[in-house]
Amino acid sequence: MNLFNGKAKFITSATKIEECPPDEFPEVCFAGRSNVGKSSLINAIVNRKNIARTSNVPGKTQQMNYYQIGDDCFFVDLPGYGFAKVPKKERERWGRSIRKYLSERESLRLILSVIDARHEPSALDQDFFYWLASNEMPFCVLMSKADKLSNNKFAQSKKAVKNILAEMNIEVPILGYSASSRKGIPEIQELIQDFIKE
């Protein structure tokens, strides 16, 4: 089985769990702050330039965007959190919809929590890690833009993330990657395949 042969297509956008497609395929979702690069990551994983629409405008993804990957699974790009220019009521609505999706979607196999390798996880990132762990959800942390750091600096950043998680008694995979150079993408593909196969 090779999920990542370029056979990927956009299916639909959902604002709440009731609008999600029938859960016939296992799902992997991508979560993180606005503009952290979730769409670029999806494109890199499926070896397509613009299957997921990337934007320089934070807060652009306002629904759960569904992509069908071959005949094997769905990728779900969640709305980014922490973008101040979106009205508070709208942010709260997204938050409720996302929590409901994460905790009730039967076909969800893995949550990829994307953070920027150049910065320490924000309070929102840390709250999200804690919430996922408290609800016993399968997740891993992906550190984007790893190519912007020297190997030494990246190792320091990764250790800092590991320590933050350890303080919460969380032990999950932490992988670094670059969507542009594709460094680390094969490891992420492998991780996803392992969860999809289960």
pLDDT for position 113:
97
CA 78/CA 42 separation, integer angstroms = 12
Neighbours of 33 (CB within 10 A): 21
Q: What is the reported pTM?
A: 0.91
From residue 71, alpha-carbon distances to 29, 49, 67 in Å are 17, 20, 11
From residue 192, alpha-carbon distances to 27, 54, 75, 106, 188 in Å are 10, 21, 10, 17, 6
pLDDT for position 70:
85
Structural domains for the chain: 8-197 (3.40.50.300)
Strands 27-32, 73-77: pairing is: parallel
pLDDT in tens, 88-132: 777 677 678 888 999 999 999 999 999 999 999 999 999 999 999
Per-residue pLDDT, averaged over 8-20, amounts to 90
DSSP code at position 67: E
In 40-186, DSSP assigns E strands to: 64-69, 73-77, 108-116, 139-144, 174-176
pLDDT for position 92:
73
